[in-house]
Amino acid sequence: MQIDRIRILPLSLGVLLALSIGCPERSTTSPVIESVGPAPTRLLGNTIRIATANLWGVSVLGFDWADDIDERFAAMAKRLGANEASLDIVLIQEAWKDVARRALLRDKGVVKNFPYRVDAVEEPGGAGLVILSRFPIETAHFERFRAQGSCLKFWEGDCISGKGILAVRVHLGDRSLWIANTHLIACYLRSSESEMACDSLDPNGQDRGRQIIEARRAVERLVGRDPIVLGGDFNLTRTSRHYPWMTSAMIPADPYAADPSAPHSVATESARGWTEPNEEVVVRNRLDYLWTRPGMDVRWQPQKSVQSIFTEPVELRSGESVALSDHPVLATEVCLVRVDDPENRCLPF
| Band of residue 19 on the pLDDT scale cut at 50, 70, 90 | very low
Q: Write down the pLDDT at residue 18.
A: 45
Residue 177: CB atoms within 10 A of its CB come to 24
pLDDT tens-digit readout, 220-266: 899 999 999 999 999 988 888 889 999 998 898 887 776 656 655 66
Per-residue burial over 49-81, b if 16 or more Cβ lie within 10 Å, else e, is: bbbbbbbbbbbbeeebbbbbbebbbbbbbebbb
Query: 131 near 90, Cβ under 8 Å?
Result: yes
pLDDT tens-digit readout, 293-336: 999 999 999 998 899 999 999 999 999 999 999 999 999 999 99
Pick the CATH number of 3-338 from 3.40.50.300, 3.40.30.10, 3.60.10.10, 2.40.50.140: 3.60.10.10
Q: Is the pLDDT of residue 30 over 80?
A: yes
Q: Write down the pLDDT at residue 20.
A: 46
Q: Write down the pLDDT at residue 199.
A: 63
93-to-189, 228, 307 alpha-carbon distances in Å: 21, 18, 18
pLDDT tens-digit readout, 113-159: 999 999 999 988 888 999 999 999 999 999 999 888 777 766 666 76
Chain mean pLDDT for the chain: 85
Q: Is the peptide bond before 294 cis (omega within 30 degrees of 0)?
A: no
Q: Write down the pLDDT at residue 27.
A: 65
* First vs last C-alpha separation in the chain: 37
Q: Is the pLDDT of residue 219 over 60?
A: yes
Q: Hey, what's the torsion of the CAs at 80, 86, 87, 93, to 10 degrees?
A: -40
